[in-house]
Structure 1
């Protein structure tokens, strides 16, 4: 069995190797902007709004060029997301590639979300928090039991995995079609020992993230507390999901130009 010293040494060696690979190519991203100011209005045009209460889920379809704002209404919450290509659901969100291809687990304005076919599904065009989880995913029945004890069963506390099973069934899909989820408004980081940890929590009502669909999508959302959320109660605020028409894409669109890898993802999409 590895000792703690050996684990620390292995982590350090892996980080050195990562830095060497990153430096070997042209992987330096364009400077990404500061977080979006809270209160930024949505673009003019028709809006479709849906409130997602604590513990519940929502499904929707987005056409390429449409936007989706996920907004914290009255309290901090964590919103898990999965999605599929609306025309071929075998193509789905891949958060491992989203992290690997962009050389970072930090999702923020200017980043993109990749499918398992190397194509861009969503772009983060606005973001007030830059505090999102691209490493762990959402809650399960087991994580709820570990976090809340017997109350998880006696009070039937809902979890993201079961929500996505229900959402998939509603969409004519099943368990095998469910990919690992990204979770917005969940400040998950890795600590010095390489373990997943809850980072500084600056979330507040009024935070939002705006996503632009780069292909026609089917989206499922779940509003359940994150497994690492340190709050003692099963607490989550209402999340509003707002569909809108995203602004036209500029020639120098940040999401399309921030990294060579993102540019290739859009080239794959165009083909």
Structure 2
């Protein structure tokens, strides 16, 4: 997506870190893989009703896809569109593999703790997300299936699920345009299927930009008939909450 205006802010999320922010409707979050091989695990919630959150099964089955990429929408469990994928240099976003827990990370890369290793400790995606959602009064029961930006998981003809090494390259960008106010929770801990010998500390740059107005020719709106209904659900929701703008 081409942006004429400068970013409202830019920051870098180091490897093995976690963060969250409320993204207003009509804005784009741009994620950049700075070194190649990054992974950013992401969850979404409605900040005005935290019971509404990203729903992976509805997102995939409604768009008849196993992977997500440019042109796809990201749905809540209320049938509304949290965000649209308006740019994906990697052409494949993992939607099924989840995150690693402490036991998996320890078995693969050994144990470290923050008290001894500070920022070089081997944090895991599950605990990172759990710590972050706790800031909003959420817990284990609220950790729904997540997205893994910059990572690709595919199936062989045999049915085996495989991780694609070196999927994302340095400089690759993914942009999400938010169609409603959304609480975004994220972590840069490594993908659970990453076979790297050493724990990968891979940073991701984040930028917030103002989105161009939605047009009737928008690729995400028109990629599936289901997406037209999702955007209509958004419109009705925003009308009821006094935040709909033409």
Instruction: Answer yes or no: same fold by TM over 0.5.
Output: yes
Asked if 1:144 corresponds to 2:105, the answer is yes
Which residue is equivalent to 2:135?
Answer: 170
Distance 2:68 2:4 in 1: 22
Which residue is equivalent to 1:181?
Answer: 146
Task: Give the CA deviation at 1:96.
Answer: 1.5
- Residues 87-117 of structure 1: per-residue CA shift (max 9 Å, x gap): 1111000111111111102211100111111
Distance 2:235 2:2 in 1: 30
Which residue is equivalent to 1:122?
Answer: 83
The 5 A counterparts of 1:10-29 are none
- Residues 68-92 of structure 1: per-residue CA shift (max 9 Å, x gap): 0111113321000001011111100
Which residue is equivalent to 1:249?
Answer: 214
- Residues 161-207 of structure 1: per-residue CA shift (max 9 Å, x gap): 10111101122322222212110111111222323211353311101
Which residue is equivalent to 1:228?
Answer: 193
Distance 1:95 1:212 in 2: 18
Task: Give the CA deviation at 1:209.
Answer: 0.3
Distance 1:41 1:267 in 2: 25
Q: How many residues align?
A: 231
Which residue is equivalent to 1:132?
Answer: 93
The 5 A counterparts of 1:1-271 are 42-148=3-109, 150-151=110-111, 156-199=121-164, 201-271=166-236
Task: Judge conservation of contact 1:124–1:212 (CA < 8 Å) in 2.
Answer: yes
Task: Judge conservation of contact 2:165–2:194 (CA < 8 Å) in 1.
Answer: no
More moved, 232-241 vs 218-227: 232-241
The 4+ residue runs of structure 1 with deviation greater than 4 A are 152-156
Task: Judge conservation of contact 1:144–1:157 (CA < 8 Å) in 2.
Answer: yes
Given the two structures, how large is their TM-score scaled by the length of structure 1?
0.80
Instruction: Structure 2: give runs of 5+ residues left out of the alignment.
Output: 237-246
Distance 1:42 1:55 in 2: 29
Task: Judge conservation of contact 1:139–1:227 (CA < 8 Å) in 2.
Answer: yes
Pick closer, same or farther for the CA change 1:96–1:226 going to 2, 3 Å. same
Instruction: Structure 1: give runs of 5+ residues left out of the alignment.
Output: 1-39
| The structure with more radius of gyration | 1
Task: Judge conservation of contact 1:75–1:238 (CA < 8 Å) in 2.
Answer: no
Distance 1:239 1:41 in 2: 20
RMSD between superposed Cα atoms in Å:
1.8
Distance 1:216 1:105 in 2: 26
Distance 2:15 2:165 in 1: 22
Pick closer, same or farther for the CA change 1:152–1:197 going to 2, 3 Å. farther
Distance 2:46 2:37 in 1: 30
